[in-house]
Amino acid sequence: MAVVTVTSMKLQRTVQTTAAPAAVFAYLSDFTTTTEWDPGTVVTERISGDGGEGTKYRNVSEFKGRKTELEYTLVTRNDPSLLVLHGTNKTVDATDRMEIAPHGTGTQVTYTADFAFKGLAKLAVPFLGGAFRKLGDEAEEGLRTALARL
């Protein structure tokens, strides 16, 4: 009998807004705006770079009552349609992918967050599904609200 161990989680949400694609891309390409729309984010600050590929960010988030810090690097920036950031710390590797596309007279954003857990954190993954879904729902609503203000 094979034993399957789940060590990763994936969240994907799609949000539509009346804001123009260029405005949405400009907003999302500044990863420090996560404090405005991601309810788990406590602080995000740029620590190096000019906003292009290679720019690094320090992100502190709170999840299930615990704060965690990740260092994110912007690995792909294809203006005006794609941003990919990779975050890491000792317990998780995270990849955040934001696809921005025209939709009617506005914009559609598909946000995908992949989390690959490391070390002892892998043991908790099977128990985090509900909490991650709630986090995704709250981030979706936060993103929808923030983009509506553009």
Report the C-alpha gap between 97 and 120 in whole angstroms. Answer: 26
Please check whether residue 98 is in contact with residue 83, taking contact to mean a CB–CB distance below 8 angstroms.
Answer: yes
Residue 19 has pLDDT above 80, yes or no: yes
- pLDDT band of 8, cuts 50, 70, 90: confident
- For the stretch 75-119, pLDDT in tens is 999 999 999 999 999 989 999 999 999 999 999 999 999 989 887
What is the per-residue pLDDT for 136?
85
Rounded alpha-carbon distances, angstroms, from residue 3 to 24, 76, 120: 43, 36, 18
Please check whether residue 29 is in contact with residue 136, taking contact to mean a CB–CB distance below 8 angstroms.
Answer: no
Tell me which H or E stretch contains 131: helix 129-148
What is the per-residue pLDDT for 2?
53
What is the per-residue pLDDT for 63?
77
Spatial CB neighbours of 141, under 8 Å, sequence gap ≥ 6? none
- For the stretch 32-60, pLDDT in tens is 999 999 988 999 999 999 999 999 999 99
| Mean pLDDT score, 111-128 | 76
Structure tokens at 105: 């007279």
**Cα torsion through 38, 63, 114, 145, rounded to 10:** -20
Strands 41-48 and 56-63, bridge-based pairing: antiparallel
Q: Rounded to the nearest 5°, which phi and psi values hold at 72? A: -100, 145
What structural domains does the chain harbor? 8-39+77-148 (3.30.530.20)
What is the per-residue pLDDT for 3?
46
Tell me which H or E stretch contains 48: strand 41-48
What is the per-residue pLDDT for 135?
80
Q: CA angle 65-70-76, nearest 5°? A: 135
Please check whether residue 107 is in contact with residue 27, taking contact to mean a CB–CB distance below 8 angstroms.
Answer: no
Q: Rounded to the nearest 5°, which phi and psi values hold at 36? A: -90, -25
